[in-house]
Amino acid sequence: MHVLITGGAGFIGSHLVDHHLAKGDLVHVVDNLSTGSRDNLALHLDSPNFRFTEADIVTWPGLGEAVGWADRVYHMAAVVGVFRVLEQPIGVMATNIAGCERLLRAVDRCGWKPQVLVASSSEVYGPRIDPRLSEDMDLIIQPEAPPRWNYAISKLADEAFALSYARVKDIPVTVVRLFNTVGPRQTGRYGMVVPRFVSQAVSGQPLTVFGDGEQSRAFTDVRDTVVMLDQLAGQANTQGLIVNVGGEHELSMNALADRVIERAGSSSGIERLPYEVAYGQEYVDIPHRCPDVTRLHGLIDYRPQWTLDATLDDLIARVRQAEGS
């Protein structure tokens, strides 16, 4: 199979590369390296089954040819991370929406219909406080939405484009709403909590918990996520569907910090930072962010193999190895 991955040098995208090359597929990655890294692809750069193009999906002249080559397209390219979203609210909207629409237009024009999987986000649920979030819920968009929600709005626009192309153009598009994926190669540079906690615990620094720490999330290891994405993209009955992809076991940031300290055997304490200090501006967090995965499990048989403890142990070992400790 020929697989095109936009944003393939990023965290999840690079694990999709690993997964498909291991299956014997041919993989082409396009990434502008704004948040991704060549290092994430280092093991494959000399592989005859792999090709990398450094380019911006919004302007890349080779998009049509690449889409026409592909049997499957994963659209993972996006501006991500809380810090970048707050710092670049206009760029987030412009890049995420324009990139997705341009990709879908290229698929429509390529002369045949590759499978397309468009990555969305749990952020589209907005400030809902429900303990479980399901795909058929009404979404909340606040009036005069602050920049914090620009990413969610851009992803919601991507979903609307994807479903419209599925219905009007009969393109086999599946939309996945990703919930708090974690694992190797994720960086805390843009606001992701697990790599930040792990790095702080290994180095003996205080773990910085934002707000009161009672906000809770459900985490999924990226190595499980890519298997689920592969299976969803390969199902004919997922065309035009939105599917939550994530874990079912929720825990608070306070509990996560305690868990990381325990798994690392660290002497680190916990330091709580007000959101205004952490982000440099007012920030409204969501108390719960946990998916209802009934639809997911009705479509595929796969169940996650990585527990949170196993993921944390793996990440802690990797950080220690990298730091020579």
Of residues 190 and 292, the one with the higher pLDDT is: 292
SS3 readout for 257-305: HHHHHHHHCCCCCEEEECHHHHHCCCCCCCCEECECCHHHHHHCCCCCC
Q: Residue 162 CA to chain centroid, in angstroms? A: 17
pLDDT at 93: 82
Residues ≥6 apart with Cβ < 8 Å to 221: 181, 182, 183, 304, 305, 306, 310, 311
Q: What is the pLDDT of residue 146?
A: 67
In angstroms, the first-to-last Cα distance of the chain is: 41
Mean pLDDT for the chain? 92
**Other beta carbons within 10 Å of 89:** 20
Instruction: Calculate the alpha carbon distances from 179 to 14, 52, 75, 273 in Å.
Output: 18, 27, 16, 24
Query: Is position 275 annotated as part of the catalytic site?
Result: no
DSSP character for 127?
S
108 Cα distance to chain centroid: 25
pLDDT at position 286 is 85
pLDDT at 82: 66
- Residues 95-141 pLDDT 10s: 899 999 999 999 999 989 999 999 999 999 988 889 999 999 999 87
* Marked catalytic residue, from 125, 151, 165, 279: 151
Instruction: Check residue 142 and give its pLDDT.
Output: 73
Whole-Å CA distances, 21 to 53, 69, 75, 295: 17, 16, 17, 28
> In Å, what is the CA distance from 224 to each residue of 85, 182, 183?
26, 10, 10
Mean pLDDT to the nearest integer, 24-28:
98
pLDDT number for residue 78:
87
Is pLDDT at 325 greater than 60 in this prediction?
no
CA dist., res. 219 & res. 187, Å (int):
15
Residue 202 and residue 266 in contact, taking contact as beta carbons nearer than 8 Å? yes
Q: Is pLDDT at 83 greater than 70 in this prediction?
A: no
Tokens for 76, please give them. Answer: 């993972």
The CA distance from 6 to 25, in Å, is 16
Which tens digits make up the pLDDT trace of 186-237?
A: 987 766 899 999 999 999 999 999 999 999 999 999 999 999 999 999 998 9
Model pLDDT, residue 231? 97
Question: Does residue 56 surpass a pLDDT of 70?
Answer: yes
CA 27/CA 293 separation, integer angstroms: 29
Per-residue model confidence (pLDDT) at position 261: 98
pLDDT value of position 79: 77
